Amino acid sequence: MNPFPHVSQELGALLARTGLAPLRLGGRELLPIVQGGMGIGVSAQRLAGAVAAEGGIGTLSSVDLRRHHPDLMAATEGCNAGEDAKRRINEANLVALDREIAGARERSQGRGLVALNVMRAVSEYAASVKRALAAGVDAVVVGAGLPLDLPDLAQDHPKALLIPILSDARGVQLIVKKWERKKRLPDAIVIEHPGLAGGHLGAARIADVNDRRFDFDQVLPACREFFKQAGLERDIPLIAAGGIRSFEDIRRLQDLGAAGVQLGTPFAVTSEGDAHPEFKRVLAEAGDEDMVEFTSVAGLPARAVATPWLKTYLKLEARLQSVAQVKQRCTKAFDCLAQCGLRDGFKDWGQFCIDNQLAAALRGDVKKGLFFRGAGALPFGSQIRSVRELLERMLTPAPALA
């Protein structure tokens, strides 16, 4: 008999033997493992649905999902400027979002949970949140900015799970206090370490990413103590994210007060990952010595593999920033970011089109792509394995592996 009905039979039995606590969320007992959202299109329905089907939380990324749908790409081909072009591209992405949520839910077979990650920094943040909730997504996860208005956007969906991504105890306190005034609490909070995670990082500057205040042994106990002192009527699960690669990592973080963990890069390189095989190869073969931190066009520190395009860009960055100026229109017509260094002429921000570069990576274009990656060796090294195998590895203590 499966002790965890919302987890696959095999992994439910494995979890029961580990001594790890399940992640209790949305009235379900789940694997204490969340798959992080990765755009553009890296975590779409195939990956998110596979993770949910095993009993974890599978997460779609909202950004430019039309790229997985040839008919939607054809319908927006040639959209280069103007409000009509922007409207057509945004609507295509919302149609893609409907399809991806439906596909992930079908693949989940009623197990786990299906979430959507939306960056607070994207211009279509509110529209994406509302569309996802209307489409029946189980949870909305928001990072890259403080989602102070998320309870307002979700007021017609009281059962939907709302999960902010934060990096320190101060941010947690701020969100909880602001949301309490709106009669809602986070259903869980992702605590993402900017010194270990990939993609956009939750620190103000590159120099801050390794600040001690972000360390899990500082943040997790501090958050638990704040919840206790605040007298919250229910527990808020904390999900640690960044550099987590083993069973021992999960056990250590649960001992520190986390209810679960979130992994990005290890899931990105699974056989079910929605990106091109060359994308997976680049991430799987990269070591920490191949990683570089830089400022994104969103004005946030970011971590990626130092591929040819990124090396060339960083050599030119100072020169590009010195001549940055406000442009009359977005390079891609649909203004994907609410504020963009390239479009808005911010001289200290990145000066490239992030949609172009991430889309190239999704296609496996090593020469032109921007390949976000977290720190640390992957559980299977450079091998590409399945979601099931990854979850089994994460739930198996090292001595048993040997």
Q: Residues 352-365: pLDDT tens digits?
A: 888 889 999 999 99
How confident is the model over 201-230, as pLDDT tens digits?
888 888 888 889 999 999 999 999 999 998
Predicted confidence band of residue 340 (pLDDT cuts 50, 70, 90): low
How confident is the model over 134-153, as pLDDT tens digits?
999 999 999 888 899 999 99
Is the pLDDT at 234 greater than 80? The verdict is no
- What pLDDT was estimated at residue 327? 82
Enumerate the β-bridge partners of residue 183: none
Is the pLDDT at 267 greater than 50? The verdict is yes
User: In which residue are the tokens 């370490």 written?
Assistant: 193
Lowest pLDDT segment from 8-22, 25-39, 316-330: 316-330
Work out the widest C-alpha separation in the chain, in whole angstroms.
Answer: 65
Predicted confidence band of residue 64 (pLDDT cuts 50, 70, 90): confident
Lowest pLDDT segment from 36-40, 168-172, 325-329, 346-350: 325-329
- What pLDDT was estimated at residue 124? 85
Better pLDDT: 46 or 345: 46
- Both tokens of 243, joined, read 């550099």
Better pLDDT: 87 or 381: 381
- What pLDDT was estimated at residue 332? 64
- Measured CA to CA, the distance from residue 284 to residue 262 in angstroms comes to 18
pLDDT (mean) for 155-166? 96
- Measured CA to CA, the distance from residue 329 to residue 311 in angstroms comes to 27
**Over the chain, what is the mean pLDDT?**
91
Task: Provide the terminal-to-terminal Cα distance of the chain, rounded to the nearest Å.
Answer: 28
Predicted confidence band of residue 402 (pLDDT cuts 50, 70, 90): very low
- Measured CA to CA, the distance from residue 84 to residue 78 in angstroms comes to 12
Residue 2 burial class via C-beta count within 10 angstroms: exposed 0-12, middle 13-18, buried 19 and up: middle
- Both tokens of 24, joined, read 């209790």
Contact yes or no for 151/129 (Cβ under 8 A) = no
Comparing CA positions, the residue from 56, 46, 54, 51 lying closest to residue 25 is: 56
pTM attached to this predicted model: 0.94
- Measured CA to CA, the distance from residue 373 to residue 103 in angstroms comes to 26
Is the pLDDT at 242 greater than 60? The verdict is yes
- What pLDDT was estimated at residue 58? 98
Is the pLDDT at 233 greater than 70? The verdict is no
User: In which residue are the tokens 């005034």 written?
Assistant: 181
